[in-house]
Structure 1
Amino acid sequence: MKNTPKILLLFIALISINFLASKFYKRLDLTKDKRYTLSKTTIDIVDNLDENAIIKVYLEGDFPSEFKRLQKETRQHLEELYAINSNIKYKFIDPLDSAEELIKKGLQPSRLSVQEDGKLSEAVIFPWATITYKDKTENINLLVDVSIDNQEEQLQNSIENLEFAFTEAIHKVSSEKNQTVAILKGNGELDDIYLASFLSQLNQYYKLAPFTLDSVANQPQKTLEQLSNFDLTIIAKPQEKFTEEEKFTLDQYITNGGKTLWLIDNVTAELDSLTNTGQSLAFNKDLNLTDLLFSYGVRINYDLIRDAYSATIRLADGNVGNKTQFKDYIWHYYPFITSKNDHPITKGVDPVNLKFANTIDTLKNNSITKTVLLQSSNFSKPIGSPVIISLEEIAKKPQKEDYNKGFQTLGVLLEGDFTSAYKNRVKPFETPIYKEKSEPNKMVVIADGDIIANELVKGQPIELGVDKYTGVRYGNSEFLMNTINYLLDDSGLLKLRNKKIQLQFLDKEKAYTERTYWQIINVIVPLVILLVFGLVFTFLRKRRFS
C-alpha cells in the first residue's frame, strides 16, 4: 500500500506526457538536404483539405531495386502529408492486378533496363498515383519522363519532384478556379481548333474567356476596363497589324498589373506551301509591336533560326506500286530546345519543339530582370528574312559555317517595373487608369506562335506537343502550363520544382566485379574476428582460473 502514491504519480505522469505529445506533436528532419521538410506552400495547401483525399499509389509488387527507393521515398512523403492533415488517406497497390484498366485511364507503364549480376533485362512498372477528392480525380506521374543520361539521374529527379507532383495534384483537385485568363482575338490569332488541346488543360485551373480588341475603335475606355478584369492575357500568333489604340490598351493593361504571354511570329513561313511547291518565300510580318516590346526590354528580330538539333518533317519519298511512301527528314527550321537552366518553368521539362522561330535580343533596362527560358543549341544560326526556303536543304550535308552563331535566345521571362511605351508620347485616347509605370509585374515573350498550336488528325485536334506522324512527345504543353502557373502563381507552387536532394547509388558494375572481395570481407572476416576473440577469451579465462 505504501507504493500506491508512487504508482498513482507515475500513472498521472504517463497520461500527462501522452496528452502533451498529442498537442505538441513534432517531427524532426535530420537529413543534410532537408528532404523531408515540407515547404510552407505544401503545408498551406494540404492543411486546407476538409474531407478525405484518397491517394492510390501503384508502386507495389516486384520491380527493380533502385525503384524500391522511389516507393520508399513516396511512402515517407505521404507520411509527412498525413502528419499535417489526417484527411490524407493513402494505400499502395500492385498495378499488375488491373493493368488494362490503368492504361485505359491514361496511366501508361514505363519500361526500364535492369542490370543485375552483370546481366541486362527489362522490367515494366506503373510509376503513377491517383488522388480523389470531392468527386475530382487527378493522375500523378511519379517518374519524371525527361531526356536524361541514365536511370539513376531519372530516379533522383523523380524523388526531387515528389513534393511538387503531389502538392500540385492536391491543389488542382481542392482549389476553386478564381483567376481569369483572356485569349486575345481580333488580330488574326490562332483559331480555337489549334488551341483546343492546351486550353482544355488550362481550363482545369483557370477561368478562360475570348477577348477581342475590335471594340477599342468605338469604346476604348470601356474595352481597357474590361480587359483589366483579367489576370493574364495570351496573345497567340497574331497575323494582323495592331492599331495604336489596341497597343495602348495592352500597354495600360500591363502597367495596371495584367500578366501577358506573347507568342509572336515576326516572319511568315509555313510548311504547307513548301510541301506543295518545294520552296517558299519567308517574309517579314508587320505587327506594329516592335516599339511596344522594345519599351519592355526585348526585340523580336526578323529572321529564322536554323538549328542542327531539330525535329523532323514527313515527305513523300517515292512510290511502291500505287502507294506513296513517306519518310521523316531532319528539318533544321524546327528546333527542339532543351533548357539550360534550373528555373521553375523549365526544370524537368522535356525538349520543346518550335517551328520557324525568330531570335530575341534583350535590351539594357535596369528595372527589368531578364531570364532566358528557351535557347537554341550551340550549333545554330539565324537567317535574315525575306529568304527563300527550299526542301532541297534536306539533301545538303550540314556545313560548319551554317551553324556557327552559338546559342540564340528564343524565349525570355521579364520581371520588374514596366514603363509605358506611351510615356512622353501622345496618347491614342484618354483613360482615368493611365499609369506611366507598373508595380512589379511579369511577362513572357516567345518568338514562335506555333509553340501553343496542336496538330490535327482527320480534322480533329490531338494532344499539344505530340508529332502526329512519329508520335514523339515534346514538352510544349508542360512548358506553357508552367509558364502560366509561374505568371499567376502567388502561392509559390512552382518553386517546389527547385528542390534538391542528393541520393547515393550503388555502382553495379563495380559491385559485380568486386563481389568476391566484399563477400570475403563481409562473411569471412567477421568469423575470423569472432574466432580470435574466442581463443583470446578462452586463454585468459584458463590463465585466470587455472
Structure 2
Amino acid sequence: MKNNISKILIAIVALIAINVLAKKYYKRLDLTQDKRYTLSETTINIVDNLEENAIIKVYLEGDFPSEFKRLQGETKQHLEELYSINDGIKYKFIDPLDTAEELIKQGLQPSRLTVQEDGKLSEAVIFPWATITYKGKTENINLLSEGSVKNQEEQLQNSIENLEFAFSEAIYKVSTESSQTIAILKGNGELNDINLVSFLSQLNQFYKLAPFTLDSVAKQPEKTLEQLSKYDLTIIAKPQEKFSEQEKFTLDQYIINGGKTLWLIDNVTAELDSLMNTGESLAFNKDLNLTDLLFSYGVRINYDLIKDAYSSTIKLEDGNLGNTAQLKDYIWHYYPFITSKNDHPITQGVDPVNLKFANTIDTLKNSIKKTILLQSSEFSKSVGTPIIISLNDIQKTPEKKDYNNGYQTLGVLLEGEFTSAYASRVKPFESKLYKEVSNHNKMVIIADGDIIANEVVKGQPIELGVDKYNGVRYGNTEFLMNSINYLLDDSGLLELRNKKIQLQFLDKEKAYTERTFWQMINVILPLVILALFGFVFTFLRKRRFS
C-alpha cells in the first residue's frame, strides 16, 4: 500500500515538474510552408514591451460567410501567437449585431459581402473590426483589406496577409508615445493650408507637426539650420518660388545631418482652373533652382508633362437641358492614375494614385539605392514644355503609336549615404553642422505637388484623394502616409506588409455543378466498402468453420 502511494506521489511531482519546465522552455513549431505563424522580430519586440494588459475585442463572431470563417480562425491563431509572447494580451471574440449602432458611432463601419451558396448570390453584413485598449488608449483595427482587389478571395488573402501588420501597428500606436516631429516647409510659395488640411489632419494623429519657414535664413542662416535640424522629417509641398543658395544649403545640410525629406515638386506650371476659363493655357517651366541639389542625390526632375492612356476624368459642359448646363465626364490624359508595379511596403495594397500634370524623373548612376514607387502605364508619353494645353485634346482619340514611350518614372525612394551638393563648392555660409557625407538616410521624391492637395468645394476642403465631381476615391492619402511611415519607421514595422501567405480556395462553381456526384460518393461509397467488408468477412468465416 505504501509502495503504491509513493509511486502516485512521484508521478504527481513528475507531472508538476514537466508542466513547470514546459512553461519555462515553451516552444511552438511552425510547419507551414509559407511560415504564416512565424512572427517577425519587430512584432516580438513590440509585444514583449507591453507592461500592462492589452484588451483586444474582435467583432468576428456569429453567422457570416464560410470564407470569412477563415479570417476568424487566422485572427484567433495570430492572437494565440501574440499571447504566447506576452500573456498580457487578453482577447475575446464578440458578436457585433447586439451593439451594431454603437460600433458604427465609434467609426467601425460594416462591410457588405457577396455570398454564393447553392449557385445563388446573396448579401451578408459583417463587422471586420477589432479594438485594442492599453493604458486608457484605444485603437481601431480594420481586419478587412480595402485595397483594389479582383474578387472576394483576393480580398481575404490580402486581409490574412495583413493581420500581423494590422495588430502590430495598433499595439505600437497605443503603447508608444510618438515624439517624432515633422516640419511643413513654408516661404517658397508652397501649397496653401486649405489644400493640406485633409492630409495633415491624418498625419497629426501620429506625429507632431509645425510650419517652418526658410525666410530667416537670409539673416540668421546658422540658427535656421539648427532649428530645422530638430525636426525628423520635412515636407516640401509644391513650391512655386525659386530657392536661394542659402536655403538650398540649409536643406542640403539638414539631409546630410540625418533629416528625412518628402519632396513633392512640380517643375512645370500647369493648372486646370486657367484652362476652364479660356479653353487654352500655357504650360511653362518653373525655375526652382533645385536641379543641382537633387542631381547630387541621384535624380533629375524633367521639364515635361506626362500623358497617359490610363487617366482620370474631368467634368466639362456638354450642351444644355433647358436653362441648365449639362456636365459630362471626359478622360483627361494629363491626370494619370498610377497602379504601382512593385510590392514595396509603401505601395503594397494601395489603391491607384491620382496625379495632375506630373513630370517624369530620371535616375542617375551613383551609390544611392533607388526604388521606383510610381510609374506611368506602358501606354504613356512625355510632352516637352513649354506647350499650349487645350481642352480640345479631349476630342482626340488616343492612338497607340502616339503613346509608346513605355513606363515613365514619376516617384522614387532614395536610400543610402548622401553626398552634399556643396562638397566641392563654395558654401553660402559657414556652419559648425557642416558635413560632406551623411549616415544612412532616406528620402522620397514625387514629381507632382498636387498628389498631397485636397480639393476645395464651396470654400470647404474635402478628403484627399476624393474626386469632387464623381466621388471616386484614390489612394493618395494611404500612399503618402506609407511614405512618411517608412521614412520615419525605425522599428521596421512597415516591412511586415510584405508578408505573403498562400491560401487554397474552393472552386464554388465546380463544387455546385458536381455536387450530386460528390454527394453520391460520400453517401454510397462508405456503404459499398462496408458491404464488401461484410461479404469478405462472412465468406472467410464460413470457409474457416465449414
> Which bracket does the TM-score occupy, shorter chain normalised?
over 0.9
| 1:381 corresponding residue in structure 2 | 381
**Residue 302 in 1 paired to residue 299 in 2?**
no
- The Cα shift of 1:29 comes to 1.6
Q: 1:196 deviation in Å?
A: 1.4
- Output one character per residue of 1:82-141: Cα deviation in whole Å (capped at 9) or x when no partner: 222222222222333333433333333323222222223333322222222233222222
The aligned runs of 1:18-167 (5 Å cut-off) are 18-167=19-168
1:414 match = 414
- Distance between the aligned counterparts of 2:311 and 2:112, measured in 1? 26
Query: Aligned-pair distance for 1:239?
Result: 0.6
- The SS at the match of 2:439 is coil
In the TM superposition, what whole-angstrom CA distance separates every residue of 1:417-473 from its partner, at most 9, and x where no partner exists? 111111211111111221111111111100001111112233222221122222211
User: Comparing 469-478 with 367-376, which one deviates more in the overlay?
Assistant: 469-478
- Whether 2:488 is the aligned partner of 1:512: answer no
What's the CA shift for 1:543?
A: 2.6
Task: Report the Cα distance in structure 1 between the residues aligned to 2:56 and 2:331, rounded to whole angstroms.
Answer: 43
Over residues 136-170 of structure 1, what are the superposed CA-to-partner deviations in whole Å (9 max), with x where a residue is unaligned? 22222211122222221121111101110111111
| Distance (whole Å) between structure 1 residues aligned to residue 239 and residue 430 of structure 2 | 26
1:272 & 1:190 partners in 2: Cα distance?
A: 15
Q: Aligned to 2:418, what secondary structure does the other structure show?
A: coil
Aligned to 2:267: 266
What residue in structure 2 maps to residue 486 of structure 1? 486
In 2, Cα distance between equivalents of 1:353 and 1:130? 31
* Secondary structure class of the residue paired with 1:221: helix
Separation of aligned partners in 1, 2:377 and 2:126: 34
Q: TM-score, normalising length from structure 2?
A: 0.97
Residue type at the aligned position of 1:289 = L
Q: Tell me the residue number matched to 2:528.
A: 528
Moved more, 46-55 or 390-399: 46-55
More deviation in 157-166 or 144-153? 144-153
The alpha carbon displacement at 1:297 in A equals: 0.6
Residue type of the alignment partner of 1:160: E
How much does 1:248 deviate? 0.6
Task: Please say if residues 148 and 349 of structure 2, whose CA atoms lie closer than 8 Å, have aligned partners that are also in contact.
Answer: no
CA–CA distance in structure 2, aligned partners of residues 97 and 5 of structure 1: 55
Q: 1:415 to 1:395 in 2, by over 3 A?
A: same
In structure 1, C-alpha distance between the alignment counterparts of 2:61 and 2:16, rounded to whole Å: 39
User: CA 1:132–1:360 in structure 2 vs 1: closer, same or farther (change >3 Å)?
Assistant: same
Could you list the per-position Cα deviations for residues 290-347 of structure 1 after superposition, in whole angstroms to 9, with x for gaps in the alignment? 0000011100011111111111112233333333332222211111111110111111
Matched AA of 1:271: L
CA–CA distance in structure 1, aligned partners of residues 280 and 137 of structure 2: 50
Segments of structure 1 that go 5 or more residues without pairing to the other structure are none
Matched, 1:16 2:20: no
2:26 counterpart letter in structure 1: Y
- The answer on whether the counterparts of 2:191 and 2:237 sit within 8 Å (CA) in structure 1 is yes
Q: Secondary structure at the match of 1:439?
A: strand
Matched residue, 2:425: 425
Deviations along 1:388-443, one digit per CA (max 9) or x if unpaired, are: 11111112212223321111000000111111111211111111221111111111
1:444 aligned partner: 444
Q: What is the count of residue pairs matched by the alignment?
A: 545
Q: Name the amino acid aligned to 2:46.
A: I
Match in the other structure for 1:244: 245
**For residues 290 and 134 of structure 1, what CA distance do their matches in structure 2 show?**
49
Shift of 1:374: 0.3
> Structure 1 counterpart of 2:369, which letter?
T
CA distance in 2, matches of 1:389, 1:340: 29
Once the two structures are superposed, the pairs formed by residues 143-222 of structure 1 within 5 Å of their partners are 143-222=144-223
Q: TM-score, normalised by structure 1?
A: 0.97
Q: Deviations over 1:273-302 (max 9, x none)?
A: 111221211111110000000011100011
Question: How far apart, CA to CA, are the structure 2 residues paired with 1:468 and 1:303?
Answer: 26
Q: How does 1:349-388 map to 2 (within 5 A)?
A: 349-365=350-366, 367-388=367-388
Partners of 1:131 and 1:402 in 2: how far apart?
53
Q: What whole-Å deviation, never above 9, does each CA across 1:217-268 have from its counterpart, x for those lacking one?
A: 1111111111111111111110100000000111111111111110000001
Distance 1:96 1:277 in 2: 55
- CA change 1:321–1:91 in 2 (3 A) is farther
Q: Give the residue type in structure 2 aligned to 1:354.
A: L
Closer, same or farther: CA 97–390 of 1 in aligned 2, 3 Å: farther
Q: Distance in 2 between matches of 1:393 and 1:130?
A: 50
Tell me whether 255-264 or 85-94 shows the greater mean CA deviation. Answer: 85-94
Q: Letter of the 1:320 partner, please give it.
A: L
Aligned-pair distance for 1:362?
0.5
Q: 1:360, CA displacement in angstroms?
A: 0.3
SS in structure 2 at match of 1:78? helix
